[in-house]
Amino acid sequence: MNASLAGAEFMQIAAGREARHGLQGTWRVRRRFAAALLVMAGALLSAPVAADTAVESAVAFINHYRQAARGRDLPATMACFSEDITLFPPEGPTVVGKAAVKALYEDFFKSSDSVDNEFAEERTFAGDTVAVHQGISTYRERSRADGQIRQYRTRFVMVLVRQQGQWQLATYAWQDLKPGG
């Protein structure tokens, strides 16, 4: 499955960061992530239904993150991430840690402008300290290099953790969907 142009640009930036910083063990990290995600999702799905307030606060946080990222507000976007944030972009190296993610977002924000986003099939499961949010995103970006507007469709999973009473994005994984998928 080919990554979208924006995803490819994102991955090219990530690959450059990986080469400069010598990140290794991508597959080991991905396997650990997949195992941890399955355990967390299973625990949340089998647990008694959490209070609506936990789900509502997690969804409010996600909307805040989306607004900051869509507005290309780097400080507000970075405030949404935990120190050990891990990104799992499609077909690319895993990005670990707030400093690496910040550098990646800086480059990405400089290369494109957000046009609009639509979300579908969203589901949120939340407990007192962990929340999982998943869905499908359709978004359009304008490349600053050539001015072209491109549309992308992804399936995503976000894992949030509550630290010091506030939600933070701890893991974000997404994959490109083929047209019609």
Q: In sequence order, what are the beta bridge partners of 151?
A: 140
Cα separation, 58 vs 120, in Å, equals 17
Amino acid at 13: I
Distances (CA, A) of 108 to 9, 18, 25: 8, 15, 24
The reported pTM is: 0.70
The domains of the chain, with CATH numbers, are 5-176 (3.10.450.50)
What pairing do the DSSP bridges indicate for beta strands 112-126 and 130-143? antiparallel
CB atoms within 10 A of CB 101: 22
Residue-wise pLDDT for 62-97, tens only, equals 999 999 998 999 999 999 999 999 999 887 899 999
